[in-house]
Structure 1
Amino acid sequence: MDFSTMEQPFPAFIDFPPINDLRSALARLQQVPGQLLHTDHPVDPHGELAGVYKRVGAGGTVKRPTRLGPAMMFNHIKGYPDSRVLVGVMASRERVALLLDTTPDRLAERMGEAIEKAIDPVVVPREQAPCQEIVHRAEDPGFDLRTLLPAPTNTDEDAGPFFCLGLVLGSDPEEGHADVTIHRLCVQGRDRLSIFFAPDRHIDKFRQKAEAAGKPLPVTINMGLDPAILIGSCFEAPTTPLGYDELKIAGGLRGRPVELVEAVSIGQKAIARAEVVIEGEILPHERLREDINTDSGRAMPEFPGYTGPANPSLPVIRVTAVTMRRQAILQTLVGPGEEHTNLAGIPTEASIRNAVERAMPGLLKNVYAHTAGGGKLLAVLQVAKRRPGDEGRQRQAALIALAVYRELKNVILVDEDVDPFDSDDVLWAMQTRYQGDVDTIFVPGVPGHVLDPSQVPEYSPSIAARGLTCKTIFDCTAPWHLRERFERAKFRDVDPHPFAPELFPQARS
């Protein structure tokens, strides 16, 4: 189902029950044909499950052949008779829009409004927290993460099984404010996980403070969540500075607070309606080689489409308990897939949109954090020049975008008659409204993303250190003084429904 041409949100939204957790989100998807696929065919979580979804619906920067398809529930996991695994809930922009009560082209606007209408989370009693219906404590006989939860491997060369959609909740040990972020978590033993932090992540700053005091940092890892929580957690500074609790954004999206509950084994909170919660402590002064159990030399597939090297020294989480709902659903993603694009990219779009609108109201019409950059490295900005004085302001908008989102690498500017979500249209603009020597702006030697394999000194002597990059603006907008030469061919706007009702089932009102 294509929502991209709709002027208003999908009309059936008014008939859908509200979403407050993963199960209510799945119930909504179940009502829309083609959005959720169940399979009872046995699947191995090690390599096979991700291999299946690569073909069914992963998309993104996954090596072809792949496609955009439905979310998929695997009901029969080999070696785990009581488990089921869900993948791809947010692996299409249309599905995200359906789950957030909007249309695909208005997702950035919807997310931007949620920041302005943020609602603080609340704590509920344990009897109101489904995530603690079943409790497994690490001291229990036979406790073993490796047999309790079917953490998948994406490829046969992964460092180990990974929890790929674990939302880590931690608190500043000095100030007390909380933060949530999704991190790479590798299962290393019966009660041990390694955790990878990209530079400047807030929970890593909390860990550093705790470690400096010689203390562990208590955290919960929350899995199987309302999509609003996951996507709201992916905002970054400066939109959500240190001390800002991203759970407030999910509250703004849903119009009610996210419910938290006190953990059962540590002094931390968990998301009350999560499917699975792992409780534990990040240990001070303890490090672990990521591939210690496999010696594969590789970590796991990441958003740029590559499997990066295993990290030689990562912080360690000692697990103290696992709590879960009855018939819990373990949620995962395929690392380079479209799901990552939407998780990372839509908050990026909202941050850019809000910042540019504050600086230059009315100039920016829309923004797309393109899937080719995993929602992080490439953004397409659609701008509207209205007067001669607007010439050049589109480049200022691009500079604002680069400032708002530090991991953004390339920005493509297009006019309002170009669809930013249609790559063919964007590339058409680049071929006909762009001259490389006058429409390319370079910003060298600034921080990028450490998972981009080109951002290393070995790639270019201009790169002084790993993680630095040259950022580029491609101005594919028509010059204002030549705008009449760049008018697109004017076709008659005809209602196609009478001619092709099977393709256009609803006549345009």
Structure 2
Amino acid sequence: MKDSKNKNPSGVHDLRSALELLKRTPGEYVETHVEVDPHAELSGVYRYVGAGGTCQRPTRKNGPVMVFNKIKGFKDISVAIGLNGSRKRVGQFLNCEPEKLGFLLKDSVEHAIAPIEVSADKAVCQEVVHLASDDDFDLRKLLPAPTNTEEDAGPYITMGLCYASDPDTHESDVTIHRLCVQSRDELSMWLTPGRHIDAFRMKAEAAGKPLPISISIGVDPAIEVAACFEPPTTPLGFNELSIAGALRGHPVEMVQCKTINEKAIAHAEIVIEGELLPDVRVREDQNTDTGRAMPEFPGYTGEAKAAIPVIKVKAVTTRRNPIWRTTVGPGEEHVNMAGIPTEASILDMVERAMPGKLLNVFAHTAGGGKLLAVMQFKKSAPVDEGRQRQAALLAFSAFPELKHVILVDEDVDIFDSDDVMWAMQTRYQGDVDTVFIPGVRCHPLDPSQDPKYSPSILQQGMSCKTIFDCTVPFHLKEHFERSKFKEVDVKRFLPDFE
């Protein structure tokens, strides 16, 4: 539905309306009716078309979204990939200038609107119901979950919005996790340490009970982005769906699941209903023995985990002729979905400590939206010298998985890597402008975080966080002024210039 106050002029409220918007936007949408194999081929195609990010080169940055209409081995289902694969598209979906998305997300956290429950007759996600108790039920034949590469542990659900609740407080959380199809009715689930759903799972497991969980696939892009917030910005008990509500100006609609005591996103294309089983673990690559999981955001294939939790699937509900939603793990989609909430978290933390000094933040593509932030800081007086490094320290607190911060002045375009590298070459001296913070927890998927890599790393998952201060010392500012060109109206010479 479109908000009556026109908070959402894009009209985007689910996956289908997002695709329709892109179809009307030149260069943002492509589709094919050529049959594609979901095993490695589908992702192999999109790697060239528009994966971007940290994906193996050659790839294309800011390529279009792509829809595959004919999937080998499946009928009446299509696959959409790359929806959030450009910052410009995310801006279109959220009615915001791409450079201001971090600020929009920050404001949405502060003006959260809680989700609401609707009746089953209003939930398009339940138009078709497949029960796991049926003899012909088989996730592997029902859902075209792809493998990103030929060495993946199995078919992966990469864009499943996992929704579960605390067994005691009933506070809910939504997050995207790595889910591998293991059998006709089982999924493995890898939860990185500290995730809230894992806290719920451990609490249920301690009581010897399963944890009900719904997995909504193919939803409003606003939800996909909002779900990627992390603590401390969204602490335990904060439902990230309320951020999506603020982005749209109305609550996200939820519906009671058919077979479990949990809710799902009512407009989703597909919902998987299941339970996280207590004290049951499975080897992630038990069906392939590859030793590999799937390509992750740093650009490397993660190792298959030896023992991770299992979801026992009870049912799958869908829209008629549903659209499966997937992504390439190291692609630009991850950069935007993870990175824009990272920016919002840093902006919020630093603004509260030193108002008006941090002008903007970019969670850079090279770090997959998590490991690297470029921060644009303004020094207005001699007393501001040193505060830029304090801002960097606050950024590490705002987003604990952040590894590197590059600080630049207000005249540097943080979204232009060439400009950032220019600042590093002309405003940085390694011996005085580098700050090392060794022995700190970071993100476990960074392969350099290993004791074999550095003697300063005591165990896997620790890192040396680093600040690269590429700002000009305040007392030398007049010696570092960029050449100034005359301001002109280019359109007088080139009317169609953009």
Q: Output the TM-score relative to the length of structure 2.
A: 0.98
2:190 matches 1:169: no
* 1:129-148 correspondence runs (5 A): 129-148=123-142
Give yes or no for the alignment of 1:49 onto 2:46: no
Report the counterpart of residue 90 of structure 2 in structure 1: 96
* Code of the aligned partner of 2:313: V
C-alpha distance in 2 between matches for 1:160 and 1:141: 23
Distance 2:228 2:111 in 1: 17
Q: Give 2:446's match in structure 1, choosing from 439, 452, 469.
A: 452
Asked if 1:425 corresponds to 2:455, the answer is no
**Cα offsets for 1:399-431 (capped at 9, x unmatched):** 000011010000000001000000000000000
Q: CA deviation at 1:503?
A: 3.2
Q: For 1:394-413, what aligned pairs fall within 5 Å after superposition? A: 394-413=388-407
Equivalent-residue separation in structure 1 for 2:266 and 2:46 (angstroms): 29
**In structure 2, C-alpha distance between the alignment counterparts of 1:17 and 1:385, rounded to whole Å:** 37
1:159 to 146, 149, 153: 153
Deviates more, 1:460-469 or 1:493-502: 493-502
Counterpart-to-counterpart distance in 2, 1:255 and 1:339: 24
Amino acid at match of 1:260: M
Q: Is the 8 A contact 2:186 2:310 kept in 1?
A: yes
2:403, 2:259 → 1: CA distance? 42
In structure 2, what is the equivalent of residue 334 of structure 1?
328
Instruction: State the shift of 1:17 in Å.
Output: 4.9
Partner secondary structure for residue 360 of structure 2: strand
What is the CA deviation profile of residues 107-129 of structure 1, one whole-angstrom value per residue up to 9, with x for unaligned ones? 00111111111100000000000
CA distance in 2, matches of 1:14, 1:347: 20
In the TM superposition, residue 501 of structure 1 has moved relative to its aligned partner by 3.0
CA contact (8 A) 2:360 2:376 kept: yes
- Is 20-29 or 234-243 further displaced after alignment? 20-29
Cα distance in 1 for residues equivalent to 2:29 and 2:276: 36
Give the alignment partner of residue 37 of structure 1, picking from 5, 30, 40.
30
Report the counterpart of residue 488 of structure 2 in structure 1: 494
Q: Secondary structure at the match of 2:315?
A: strand
Aligned residue in 2 for 1:179 = 173
2:12 partner amino acid:
I
**Alignment RMSD (CA, Å):** 1.0
1:270 to 264, 267, 273: 264
Give runs of aligned pairs for residues 317-466 of structure 1, distance below 5 A: 317-466=311-460
Q: Find the counterpart in structure 1 of residue 3 from structure 2.
A: none
Q: Distance in 2 between matches of 1:223 and 1:14?
A: 25
Q: d(CA) in 1 for partners of 2:326 and 2:446?
A: 22
2 CA distance for matches of 1:457 and 1:382?
Answer: 33
Shift of 1:502: 3.8
Post-superposition CA distance 1:27-60 (Å, at most 9, x none): 2112211111111111111100000000000000
Between the two proteins, the alignment pairs up a number of residues equal to 492
- State yes or no: 1:231 paired with 2:231: no
- 2:319 is equivalent to residue 295 of structure 1: no
The answer as to whether partners of 2:151 and 2:290 remain within 8 angstroms in 1 is yes
Scaled by the length of structure 1, the TM-score of the pair is 0.96
How far the C-alpha of 1:160 sits from its partner, in A, is 0.2
Checking the alignment, whether the CA contact within 8 Å between 2:413 and 2:419 is kept in structure 1 is: yes
Q: 1:111 aligns with which of 105, 116, 128?
A: 105
What is aligned with 1:312?
Answer: 306
What is the distance in 1 between the residues matched to 2:479 and 2:216?
55
Q: Deviations over 1:136-160 (max 9, x none)?
A: 0000120000000000000000000
Per-residue CA shift, 1:311-334, capped at 9, x if unaligned? 010100000000000111000000
Q: CA deviation at 1:380?
A: 0.1
Q: How many angstroms does 1:490 deviate by? A: 0.4
Structure 1: distance between partners of 2:339 and 2:8: 28
**1:128 maps onto 2:125 in alignment:** no
Q: SS state of the match for residue 432, structure 2?
A: coil
**Ranges in structure 2 where 5+ consecutive residues have no aligned partner:** 1-5
- Which residue number corresponds to residue 9 of structure 1? none
1:341 deviation in Å? 0.3
Aligned to 1:220: 214
- Equivalent in the alignment of 1:250: 244
Structure 1 SS opposite 2:392: helix
- Kindly indicate whether residue 481 of structure 2 is the aligned counterpart of residue 482 of structure 1: no
CA offsets 1:263-291 (integer angstroms, 9 cap, x no match): 00000000000000000000001000000
Alpha-carbon distance in 2 for matches of 1:16, 1:80: 36
Match for 1:207 among 198, 201, 205? 201
Whole-angstrom CA distance in 1 between matches of 2:497 and 2:307:
54
Kindly indicate whether the alpha-carbon contact (under 8 Å) linking 1:239 and 1:351 is maintained by their aligned counterparts in 2. yes
Give, in angstroms, the shift of residue 494 of structure 1.
1.4
Aligned to 1:25: 18
Amino acid corresponding to residue 495 of structure 2 in structure 1: P
Shift of 1:14: 9.1
Instruction: Tell me the alpha carbon deviations over residues 416-448 of structure 1, each in whole angstroms, 9 at most, x when there is no partner.
Output: 100000000000000000000100001110100
CA distance in 2, matches of 1:328, 1:67: 27
CA displacement 1:429-473 (0-9 Å, x = unmatched): 000000001000011101001000001111111101110100000
- Of 19-28 and 367-376, more deviation after overlay is shown by 19-28
C-alpha distance in 2 between matches for 1:168 and 1:411: 30
1:307 CA drift (Å): 0.4
Cα drift, residue 349 of structure 1: 0.2
Paired residue secondary structure (1:497): helix
Q: Distance in 2 between matches of 1:17 and 1:500?
A: 29
Whole-Å separation in 2 of the counterparts to 1:222 and 1:57: 24
Alpha-carbon contact 1:16-1:28 (below 8 Å) kept = no
Distance in 2, Cα, partners of 1:185 & 1:503:
45
On the 8 A contact 2:212/2:260 being kept in 1, the answer is yes
The reply to whether residue 72 of structure 1 matches residue 72 of structure 2 is no
Secondary structure at the aligned position of 1:438 is classed as helix
Three-state SS of the structure 1 residue aligned to 2:491 is coil
- Return 455-464 or 362-371, whichever deviates more: 455-464
Q: For 1:87, which of 81, 85, 100 is the aligned residue?
A: 81
What is the SS of the residue equivalent to 1:412? Answer: strand
Matched residues in 2 for 1:45 and 1:264: separation? 28
Specify every segment of 5 or more residues in structure 1 that has no aligned partner in the other structure, as ranges. 1-12, 505-509
User: In the alignment, what sits opposite 1:3?
Assistant: none
